[in-house]
């Protein structure tokens, strides 16, 4: 758990799926494990931990009076003279309190079983999928590397490393075979989860010129991804990453309405590069940053503690809007071709 908390605490930022969402996020945690009771002392400890984290770390409530009222109801529930409390009732009251926060519904409370099921919803071997890395030929005949990072929900270092090594191996082979001269990052499959496996692969594209920031409750700004700062997520250095040849060059990023949460974090981190441009459609809109806390009964609190900003701009709210919107009726293939053509313009002029 210590290592998991290390991964999550560094910036489990916009990494989570919304409970009940199946189209945008692909997994709905089963509510049945919330059956049963909590001992009164455990319920009280859970509520105290929630309140402490919310009042010291979270983005503030939309209306303070609404938060205060929901908090009072939650405290009254667990302070009732009963040896046990209904787990479902405590969770429902806790979620009511969390829903008053100005977090776009991104703050979540999951049971131990829900969290376990969610973490196992994807596999680290997906990084080796053929669809994750390929070469696409632009209209002028030049090859462009297209990366489509698969969704990841696992959190441990070993799985993150397996995923990253698989993608890096495919990147190495495609570059050796096709010699692409530019890169496109297609975030179609980044529908929520853990952003760090994908970021570990893409890290060489993050330069010291990157201006993507977290903005916390006090307005303090910190980099979303500092250059060279992802080894903690993979347990040490990865094999040589051939993406470094594209650092500082034009980079196209493809967005879809399903690009959500973790995918939006990846998009913002990459969009902080001066020569990056986004293509496609507006994203899902879970553009806030979460950290994780293990609660006394084994549940997990996914607490929203920050928003994002590009440069000195205001904190972002809602969906990300592409720099180059897709035209009405455009297919995903048309958007990808447009992104490939734009990225290829930064390639060296072919020899006659």
* Domains of the chain listed by start with CATH number: 2-118 (no CATH), 123-288+304-344 (3.90.226.10)
Q: Which residue's structure tokens are 């303090």?
A: 220
| pLDDT score of 18 more than 60 | no
Phi-psi region of 187 (alpha: psi -120 to 50; beta: other; left: phi over 0): alpha
Confirm if 268 and 309 have CB atoms less than 8 A apart: no
pLDDT of residue 29: 56
pTM over 0.75: yes
pLDDT of residue 329: 77
pLDDT of residue 227: 73
* pLDDT per residue as tens digits for the range 244-294: 999 999 999 999 999 999 999 999 999 999 999 999 999 999 999 999 889
Q: CA torsion angle for 54, 55, 61, 66 (degrees, to 10)?
A: 100
Model confidence at 82, pLDDT cuts 50, 70, 90, reads confident
| pLDDT score of 19 more than 70 | no
Distance of CA 294 to the CA centre of its chain: 19
Mean pLDDT (whole number) for 92-110: 95
pLDDT of residue 103: 93
| pLDDT score of 128 more than 60 | yes
pLDDT of residue 270: 98
- Residues with Cβ within 8 Å of 335's Cβ and at least 6 positions away in sequence, in order, are 254, 279, 280, 281, 326
Q: How far apart are CA 46 and CA 117, in angstroms?
A: 21
Q: How far apart are CA 71 and CA 290, in angstroms?
A: 21
> Among residues 276, 274, 269, which one has the least CA distance to residue 252?
276
H-type helices in 203-250, by residue range? Answer: 231-234
Question: For residue 147, what are the β-bridge partners?
Answer: 133, 185
Q: Compute and round to an integer the Cα radius of gyration of the chain.
A: 21
Model confidence at 140, pLDDT cuts 50, 70, 90, reads confident
The DSSP secondary structure of 59-88, one letter per residue, reads: PPBSSHHHHHHHHHHHHHHHTSS-SEEEHH
Model confidence at 12, pLDDT cuts 50, 70, 90, reads very low
Identify which has the larger pLDDT, 328 or 194: 194
For β-strands 276-280 and 251-255, DSSP reports them as parallel
pLDDT of residue 292: 84
pLDDT of residue 97: 98
pLDDT of residue 6: 35
Mean pLDDT (whole number) for 99-123: 92
| pLDDT score of 55 more than 70 | yes
Mean pLDDT (whole number) for 79-88: 90
Confirm if 88 and 35 have CB atoms less than 8 A apart: yes
Least confident window among 139-143, 190-194, 228-232, 306-310: 228-232
Which three-class secondary structure state does DSSP give residue 132?
helix
| pLDDT score of 159 more than 80 | yes
| pLDDT score of 113 more than 80 | yes
pLDDT of residue 33: 67
Confirm if 108 and 302 have CB atoms less than 8 A apart: yes
The DSSP secondary structure of 287-308, one letter per residue, reads: -EEEEEEE-TTS-EEEEEEEEE
| pLDDT score of 26 more than 60 | no
> Among residues 252, 324, 256, which one has the least CA distance to residue 284?
256
Confirm if 299 and 111 have CB atoms less than 8 A apart: yes
pLDDT of residue 234: 92
Mean pLDDT (whole number) for 225-237: 86
Confirm if 341 and 252 have CB atoms less than 8 A apart: no
pLDDT of residue 327: 85
Q: How far apart are CA 120 and CA 179, in angstroms?
A: 36
């Amino acid at each position: 758990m210590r290592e998991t908390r290390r991964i999550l605490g560094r910036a489990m930022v916009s990494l989570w799926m919304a409970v009940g969402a199946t189209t945008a996020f692909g997994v709905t945690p089963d509510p049945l494990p919330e059956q049963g009771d909590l001992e009164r002392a455990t319920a009280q400890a859970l509520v105290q931990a929630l309140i402490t984290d919310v009042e010291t770390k979270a983005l503030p409530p939309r209306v303070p009076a609404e938060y205060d009222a929901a908090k009072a109801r939650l405290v009254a529930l667990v302070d009732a003279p009963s040896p046990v409390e209904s787990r479902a009732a405590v969770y429902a009251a806790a979620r009511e309190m969390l829903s008053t926060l100005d977090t776009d519904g991104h703050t979540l409370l999951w049971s131990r079983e829900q969290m376990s099921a969610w973490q196992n919803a994807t596999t680290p071997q997906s990084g080796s999928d053929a669809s994750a890395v390929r070469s696409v030929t632009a209209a002028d005949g030049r090859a462009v590397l297209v990366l489509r990072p698969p969704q990841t929900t696992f959190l441990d270092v070993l799985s993150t490393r397996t995923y990253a090594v698989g993608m890096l191996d495919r990147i190495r082979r495609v570059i050796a075979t096709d010699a692409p001269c530019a890169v496109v990052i297609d975030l179609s499959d980044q529908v929520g989860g853990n952003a760090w496996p994908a970021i570990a692969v893409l890290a060489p594209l993050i330069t010291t010129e990157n201006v993507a920031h977290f903005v916390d409750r006090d307005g303090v700004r910190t980099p979303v991804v500092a250059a060279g700062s992802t080894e903690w997520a993979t347990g040490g250095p990865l094999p040589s990453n051939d993406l470094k040849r594209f650092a500082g060059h034009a980079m196209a990023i493809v967005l879809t309405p399903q690009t959500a949460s973790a995918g939006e974090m990846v998009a913002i981190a990459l969009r902080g590069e001066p020569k990056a441009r986004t293509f496609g459609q507006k994203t899902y809109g879970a553009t806030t940053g979460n950290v994780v806390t293990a609660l006394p009964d084994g549940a997990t609190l996914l607490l929203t503690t920050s928003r994002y900003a590009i440069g000195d701009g205001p904190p972002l709210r809602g969906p990300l809007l592409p720099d180059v919107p897709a035209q009405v009726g455009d297919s995903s293939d048309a958007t990808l071709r447009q992104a490939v053509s734009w990225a290829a313009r930064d390639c060296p002029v072919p020899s006659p």
